[in-house]
Structure 1
Amino acid sequence: MNRLVASLRGDKVIWAIVFLLALISFLPVYSASTNLVYVIGKGSTLGYLVKHLGHLFIGFIIIYWTHKIPYHYFRAISLIGIPFVIILLIYTLFQGTTIGGANASRWIRIPFVGIGFQTSTLAFTVLMVYVARYLAKVSDKTYSFKESLVELWMPIFGVLIFILPTNFSTTALIFSMVCMLLYIGQYPFKYLLIVLGAGIAALLLFLLLAKAFPENKMFSRVKTWESRIERFVDDKPNEDNYQIEKAKIAIASGKIYGLGPGKSVQKNFLPQSSSDFIFAIIVEEYGIIGAFGIIFLYMLLFVRFIINAHKAPTFFGKLLIIGLGFPIIFQAMVNMAVAVELLPVTGQTLPMISSGGTSIWMTCVSIGLILSVTRKEEEVSLDEEEKRKREEALQRIIDREVSLDSALEEDKEKEEVQHDEKNPLEPILNQQ
């Protein structure tokens, strides 16, 4: 165990927070899974808990091996990864599966193992690394908008255009996080405004095409977006209102201390209680204290991201921490905002707490990359400390040798004085 802990490099506080979030997730997921077992009639609570444990176990393996890879290797990986994820998104758009009777063209089924995988989460991670790579590459150069249009914006819009038809919330999240990273990475603000205008125009064109060709599969989710926005601003009873109302009842029932672990009532009525609305179940069972505890952990994680971004040894490392770390916190805030009806239903999970394989694994990839940057910083500090210790040890050896030589000289002088005192006539006899 000690050897395993010793092998964990990077920011130990980030390690501890991620482990604590994963540990906290067990009871809410176990409790909320009763909705799937007794209401839907699928599986068992223990089975869902074991499945969640398996997802987290694989996730921590991903963190461990990712943080061992020098982070600068991911420059080349992102360059290769962009065309790969675009091809994967195209395949997903036209060959995506249907899960539980719902349109799920954002998922593909991994062959042989039968596990569902949401390709947009992989595309998100690869794209953020690619943008960080580009900004680090041009940080000390002068470039035109046309040059950045080809090398930067074509890959970005190439990814977004194939996510938009099936997942507007993820597209909006990715685009906003990319713009945030570009702004922090000192991309010219006037260029960014041009792209924002072009992005809004492209979205309007997409909506117009959806109105013109409503039966086309490419636009099948547009009605869902419209209805969700309408339901958010409307007081009429509907499915989204039902979910939000149940979430608010759960939150109100929790009060300060909560009903206690496993004692949630609304988990039996609230759809997606173990994933999208797990925050409401946490508040119901653990109260406002539990809610603030979760928020505190995410805020502490956010502070560690800022500190490590400031201390990162390279500009690419700084952007990597910001580009991968901030979306984790933003996604957590969106999930909690949906539960209290500050935002319309988006389908964003609570990182490292909600059940689900893909969301956990890609969050773990991002955490592993961030730890790889902090690991490099730690190695630099360790090298400097080791160098200082070597210099101190060498100085001690030199001082000891000098002291030894001085002692030998003193002993020699003493012996000569003693010899002269014993034979006072010896000099005279030697002269004769």
Structure 2
Amino acid sequence: MTSFARSDRSLLAEWWRTVDKMMLTSLFLLMGVGLLVSLAAGPAAADRIGFSDPYYFVYRQAAFMCMSAVLLVGASILTPPWARRVAALVFVTSFLLMAYVLLFGHEAKGAQRWIRLAGMTFQPSEMVKPSLILLIGWLLAQREHFPNAPWTLVAFVLFVATLGLLLLQPDVGQSALLTAGFLVTFFVSGITLWWVLALGLGFAALGGGLFALFPHVRHRVNAFLNPSDYDTYQVDTAREALERGGLLGAGMGEGQIKHDLPDAHTDFIYSVIGEEFGLLVCLALIILFALITVRGILTASRHPDPYPRSAAAGLYALFGLQAAINISVNIALIPNKGMTLPFISYGGSSLLGSALTLGLALALTRRRPEISMRRFIP
């Protein structure tokens, strides 16, 4: 294990002494699992899609994972003031790119969410979520310092504007995830009963409106409630894969779902894990996600500063809820929704978004957040 002398006041030494090493180890373990699973699911996906190189997705996943690891560590080095500045830059850039996507973006499966560049696609919404949650946490914290300014209104306007762009794509799943993260951040920052009632009524009305306005939302909800009347091939196949895996799994490389299911290496990667590695590994993965999320939220809740406390809690909730949604879809607990499993599913945008989310959360919950970045800048 790397160690630094107590007299070493370098940026890296300060980071290592203050970062949550158990959390960092858990995240890198999760990344290692992601690389292992890409070896299991990647070749079948490449063959199904028609790539000549069976390791096409494996190589790309490894490259994205390396970039994500660098982003995770780089973001975790930031102090809270610098995390806010970086988040503001990322948010503005991602927000403008989301507006660009609506006009000139790449369309796939009836949604326009991606920017295609040099044969690759990028989804700006993956970066806008953590940056917005951090900014909202900071804005809401300013109420304690400047109570007469409309901080709550500004935070709500930013949230509604971002939510509107997501729904125009449309991306209802990411909209629901962002809303949940926003509510956690709002709750931790301190919220009156009137706000609770207003937000509850507002989001209930929004849910009803989405069900009425978007046919694909209505179809997925109805298919979940009445599966015998609809085509539920993906969910049924995923459930069969988990049943076939049993307690210990069929063995790495022996799974069948990855040869038939279109999204086996992305949205339904958990089913591949269940079939090839078994129930015990699936449970271990759930425990790992839960430990990261719960430890992060508890650490954030003990922070004396309201900005890191609310923002970090929202970021960890964002990460944990995304994992919960993906796993719940795979085991048919909620309606089908395309959402990746953080650090496990294939996808560069998802990996980078998860790395930014946890990197910023680690930065906010370091043990000595008062260290100033100015002393490290010439």
- When the two structures are superposed, what TM-score results if normalisation uses the length of structure 2? 0.87
SS in 2 for 1:105: strand
Q: Sort the Cα spacing of 1:331 and 1:13 in 2 relative to 1 into closer, same or farther, 3 A.
A: same
Aligned partner (choices 212, 223, 240) of residue 231 of structure 1: 223
Q: Sort the Cα spacing of 1:378 and 1:78 in 2 relative to 1 into closer, same or farther, 3 A.
A: closer
Counterpart check, 1:191 vs 2:195: yes
| d(CA) in 2 for partners of 1:238, 1:69 | 49
Counterpart check, 1:120 vs 2:111: no
| Structure 2 unaligned residues grouped into runs of 5+ | 5-11, 372-378
In structure 1, what is the equivalent of residue 345 of structure 2?
354
Q: Sort the Cα spacing of 1:254 and 1:160 in 2 relative to 1 into closer, same or farther, 3 A.
A: same
In structure 2, what is the equivalent of residue 402 of structure 1?
none
Counterpart check, 1:163 vs 2:166: yes
Tell which deviates more after alignment, 74-83 or 293-302: 74-83
In structure 2, what is the equivalent of residue 429 of structure 1?
none
| Structure 1 unaligned residues grouped into runs of 5+ | 211-221, 381-432
Which letter maps to 2:32?
L
| C-alpha displacement of 1:79 | 4.5
1:275-309 CA distance string (max 9 Å, x none)? 11111111111111111110111122123203421
In structure 2, what is the equivalent of residue 106 of structure 1?
113
- Please, what is the CA RMSD of the aligned residues? 2.6
| d(CA) in 2 for partners of 1:43, 1:8 | 43
SS in 2 for 1:319: helix
| d(CA) in 2 for partners of 1:310, 1:236 | 45
- When the two structures are superposed, what TM-score results if normalisation uses the length of structure 1? 0.77
| C-alpha displacement of 1:311 | 4.2
| C-alpha displacement of 1:18 | 0.8
SS in 1 for 2:251: coil
Which letter maps to 2:314?
G
SS in 2 for 1:341: coil
In structure 2, what is the equivalent of residue 421 of structure 1?
none
In structure 2, what is the equivalent of residue 293 of structure 1?
284
Which letter maps to 2:79?
P
| d(CA) in 2 for partners of 1:19, 1:80 | 26
| d(CA) in 2 for partners of 1:373, 1:279 | 30
| d(CA) in 1 for partners of 2:159, 2:175 | 11
Aligned partner (choices 76, 86, 99) of residue 67 of structure 1: 76
Q: Sort the Cα spacing of 1:148 and 1:203 in 2 relative to 1 into closer, same or farther, 3 A.
A: farther
Which letter maps to 2:124?
T
Tell which deviates more after alignment, 43-52 or 198-207: 198-207
Counterpart check, 1:97 vs 2:101: no
- Structure-to-structure mapping, 1:127-206, within 5 angstroms: 127-139=132-144, 142=147, 147-148=150-151, 150-165=153-168, 166-201=170-205
Q: Sort the Cα spacing of 1:252 and 1:133 in 2 relative to 1 into closer, same or farther, 3 A.
A: same
| d(CA) in 2 for partners of 1:270, 1:367 | 30
Counterpart check, 1:250 vs 2:254: no
- Structure-to-structure mapping, 1:51-66, within 5 angstroms: 51-66=60-75
| C-alpha displacement of 1:72 | 1.8
Q: Sort the Cα spacing of 1:143 and 1:45 in 2 relative to 1 into closer, same or farther, 3 A.
A: farther
SS in 2 for 1:106: strand
| C-alpha displacement of 1:138 | 0.7
| d(CA) in 2 for partners of 1:199, 1:272 | 30
- Judge conservation of contact 2:211–2:217 (CA < 8 Å) in 1: no
Which letter maps to 2:288?
L
| d(CA) in 1 for partners of 2:90, 2:259 | 42
Q: Sort the Cα spacing of 1:320 and 1:149 in 2 relative to 1 into closer, same or farther, 3 A.
A: closer
Give the number of equivalent residue pairs. Answer: 361
Which letter maps to 2:24?
W
| C-alpha displacement of 1:31 | 1.6
Q: Sort the Cα spacing of 1:206 and 1:280 in 2 relative to 1 into closer, same or farther, 3 A.
A: closer
Aligned partner (choices 348, 357, 360) of residue 369 of structure 1: 360
Q: Sort the Cα spacing of 1:80 and 1:269 in 2 relative to 1 into closer, same or farther, 3 A.
A: closer
Q: Sort the Cα spacing of 1:59 and 1:43 in 2 relative to 1 into closer, same or farther, 3 A.
A: farther
| d(CA) in 2 for partners of 1:205, 1:22 | 38
Q: Sort the Cα spacing of 1:80 and 1:16 in 2 relative to 1 into closer, same or farther, 3 A.
A: closer
| d(CA) in 2 for partners of 1:335, 1:227 | 19
1:162-208 CA distance string (max 9 Å, x none)? 10131011111111221122112102231242244344445656776
Q: Sort the Cα spacing of 1:195 and 1:33 in 2 relative to 1 into closer, same or farther, 3 A.
A: same
In structure 2, what is the equivalent of residue 50 of structure 1?
59
Tell which deviates more after alignment, 181-190 or 30-39: 30-39
| d(CA) in 2 for partners of 1:43, 1:52 | 17
In structure 1, what is the equivalent of residue 376 of structure 2?
none
Which letter maps to 1:253?
R
- Judge conservation of contact 1:92–1:107 (CA < 8 Å) in 2: yes
| C-alpha displacement of 1:141 | 5.5
1:320-357 CA distance string (max 9 Å, x none)? 22111111111111111101100111111111111100
- Judge conservation of contact 2:90–2:127 (CA < 8 Å) in 1: no
Counterpart check, 1:27 vs 2:36: yes
Which letter maps to 1:154?
V
